């Protein structure tokens, strides 16, 4: 039993923070975490531009992030594409039974919004958790402290290769996700709604603005996942239990970062390309 639980009820109630105090403490913690994460991001950019070139480390991380995620994202996003086009077709059949533009509107939705955002959250569940677990294990086993004693910045040695590899491979994976989801949707439309492949493969509604927004999201998500996950890993404490908490925080915060970035990029893209 803790010493706090042995206190009299009046004393224990007096020492507990009130709602305002708890809210203020949470706000301060959030501000400090955002400040530290921004510092990690700036230092990562600095080492990416001016640090030592380590192509071998980047290629290794590209394999870990990209190649080992292909099967997972293909299966998951293929089923999501199948379900999405099936539900869209059922709704169209009830309202306006015309599937002429089903493929065109679906591809526009994939390129502009769905593939990048949902795909990035799927990637974050594997890549973000892996980065946080690996770096967090190095922190609790004092390997990161050993790097600092050798005058090696952990940001340069651990985070930069993952940052570069994540931007490249997240973009490649999301392009692959668009292809998989569109092909799965084409097979579904042909199987359930008798939509010919020639009719479904309609690219007329995809504009330059849609592609720019989609690629911007790929780069932004690819940068956010390793930064957030790396920060969670570097801030690990408390042994193996702390590694578990860091992994959970990495997945949750990476997904939250994807949603926030999606909002801002979508709003900016709308005003730049579609508000005229």
Rounded-to-integer distance, Cα 180 and Cα 202, Å: 16
Give the tokens for residue 173.
């994976």
Question: Taking residues 30-59, what's their average pLDDT?
Answer: 84
Higher pLDDT, 14 or 178: 178
Tell me the per-residue pLDDT of 179-208, one tens digit each, with 9 for 90 and over: 999 999 999 999 998 889 999 998 989 999
Higher pLDDT, 14 or 147: 147
Q: Which residue has the tokens 């999501």?
A: 80
Q: Give the range among 32-36, 130-134, 242-246 with minimum mean pLDDT.
A: 32-36
Query: Residues with Cβ < 8 Å from 190, sequence gap 6 or more?
Result: 196, 197, 200
pLDDT at res. 65: 92
Query: Residues with Cβ < 8 Å from 171, sequence gap 6 or more?
Result: 215, 218, 219, 222
pLDDT at res. 13: 47
Question: Taking residues 251-266, what's their average pLDDT?
Answer: 92
CA angle, residues 262, 67, 72, in degrees to nearest 5: 65
Rounded-to-integer distance, Cα 187 and Cα 201, Å: 11
Question: Taking residues 228-240, what's their average pLDDT?
Answer: 87
**pLDDT-derived band at 18, boundaries 50, 70, 90:** low
- Whether residue 1 is predicted with pLDDT greater than 50 in this model: the reply is no
- Whether residue 10 is predicted with pLDDT greater than 50 in this model: the reply is no
- Whether residue 8 is predicted with pLDDT greater than 70 in this model: the reply is no
Question: Taking residues 82-86, what's their average pLDDT?
Answer: 91
Query: Exposed, middle or buried: residue 250 (CB in 10 Å: 0-12, 13-18, 19+)?
Result: buried
Question: Cα dist. 190→84, 99, 184 in Å?
Answer: 14, 11, 10
Average pLDDT, the chain: 86
Query: Exposed, middle or buried: residue 56 (CB in 10 Å: 0-12, 13-18, 19+)?
Result: exposed
Q: Where are the domains of the chain?
A: 53-268
Q: Which residue has the tokens 């709704």?
A: 91
Contact yes or no for 110/178 (Cβ under 8 A): yes
Q: Give the range among 17-26, 83-92, 210-219, 267-276 with minimum mean pLDDT.
A: 17-26
pLDDT at res. 3: 44
- Whether residue 166 is predicted with pLDDT greater than 80 in this model: the reply is yes
Tell me the per-residue pLDDT of 127-145, one tens digit each, with 9 for 90 and over: 999 999 999 999 888 888 8
**pLDDT-derived band at 276, boundaries 50, 70, 90:** low
Q: What is the 3-state secondary structure (H, E, C) of the chain?
A: CCCCCCCCHHHHHHHCCCHHHHHHHHHHHHHHHHHHHHHHHHHHHHHHHHCCCCHHHHHHHHHHHCHHHHHHHHHHHHHHHHHHHHHHHHHHHHHCCCCCCHHHHHHHHHHHHHHHHHHHHHHHHHHHHHHHHHHHHHHHCCHHHHHHHCCCCHHHHHHHHHHHHHHHHHHHHHHHHHHHHHHHHHHHHHHHHCCCHHHHCCCCCCCHHHHHHHHHHHHHHHHHHHHHHHHHHHCCCCHHHHHHHHHHHHHHHHHHHHHHHHHHHHHHHHHHHHCC
Rounded-to-integer distance, Cα 192 and Cα 248, Å: 39
pLDDT at res. 119: 93
**pLDDT-derived band at 38, boundaries 50, 70, 90:** confident
What backbone phi and psi angles, to 5 degrees, belong to 152? -110, 120
Contact yes or no for 156/47 (Cβ under 8 A): yes
Q: Model pTM?
A: 0.86
């Amino acid at each position: 039993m803790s010493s706090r639980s042995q206190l009299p009820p009046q004393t224990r109630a007096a020492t507990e923070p009130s709602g305002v105090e708890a809210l203020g403490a949470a706000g301060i913690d959030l501000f400090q975490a955002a400040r530290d994460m921004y510092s990690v991001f700036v230092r990562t950019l600095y080492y990416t531009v001016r640090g030592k070139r380590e192509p071998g480390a980047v290629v290794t991380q590209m394999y870990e992030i990209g190649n080992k995620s292909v099967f997972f994202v293909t299966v998951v996003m293929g089923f999501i594409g199948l379900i999405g086009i099936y539900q869209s077709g059922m709704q169209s059949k009830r309202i306006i039974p015309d599937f002429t533009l089903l493929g065109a509107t679906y591809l526009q939705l994939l390129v502009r919004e769905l593939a990048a955002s949902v795909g990035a959250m799927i990637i974050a569940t594997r890549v973000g958790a892996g980065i946080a677990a690996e770096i967090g294990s190095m922190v609790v086993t004092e390997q990161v402290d050993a790097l600092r004693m050798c005058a090696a910045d952990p940001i340069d040695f651990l985070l930069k290769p993952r940052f570069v590899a994540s931007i490249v491979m997240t973009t490649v994976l999301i392009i692959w996700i668009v292809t998989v989801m569109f092909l799965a949707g084409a097979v579904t439309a042909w199987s359930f709604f008798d939509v010919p492949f020639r009719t479904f493969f309609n690219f007329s509604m995809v504009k330059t603005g849609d592609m720019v927004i989609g690629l911007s999201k790929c780069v932004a998500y690819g940068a956010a996942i390793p930064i957030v996950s790396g920060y969670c890993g570097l801030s690990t404490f408390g042994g193996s239990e702390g590694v578990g908490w860091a992994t959970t925080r990495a997945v949750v915060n990476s997904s939250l970062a994807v949603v926030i970035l999606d909002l801002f990029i979508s709003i900016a893209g709308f005003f730049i390309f579609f508000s005229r």
